[in-house]
Amino acid sequence: MMEPLDGNAIAGELVELYGREMTTATGACANCGATAQIGELWVYVRAPGTVVRCPSCGNVVMVIVTIHGTTLIDAARFSLREPPE
């Protein structure tokens, strides 16, 4: 079984997408409602894209892929509650 990284592993991609540091931003999992900072999420980088999971229930909350040099994120299952500090 592959060990996850923490959310700091996607810090660079998030800065690219949002234009600022995001690992301290807090959000909620759409599945279980647990809140966590992005830096606390479980990150798996050995998939076709990067898969980010909730540390409480294990469900996917984000997927990040780079296609033809463009980085895209699907974060519909992680609703941001607090902006980064």
Taking only the tens place, the pLDDT of each residue in 40-72 is 999 999 878 999 999 999 999 999 998 998 889
Domain boundaries, the chain: 5-79
What pTM was estimated for this model as a whole?
0.91
Structure tokens at 78: 């992680």
Give the per-residue pLDDT at 36.
97
Q: Cα–Cα distance between 2 and 35 in angstroms, integer? A: 24
Asked if the model's pLDDT at residue 84 lies above 70, the reply is: no
Taking only the tens place, the pLDDT of each residue in 16-33 is 888 999 999 999 999 999
Contact, 80 vs 30, CB < 8 A?
no
Tokens 């301290």 map to which residue? 24
Positive or negative, the CA dihedral 39, 41, 44, 49 is negative
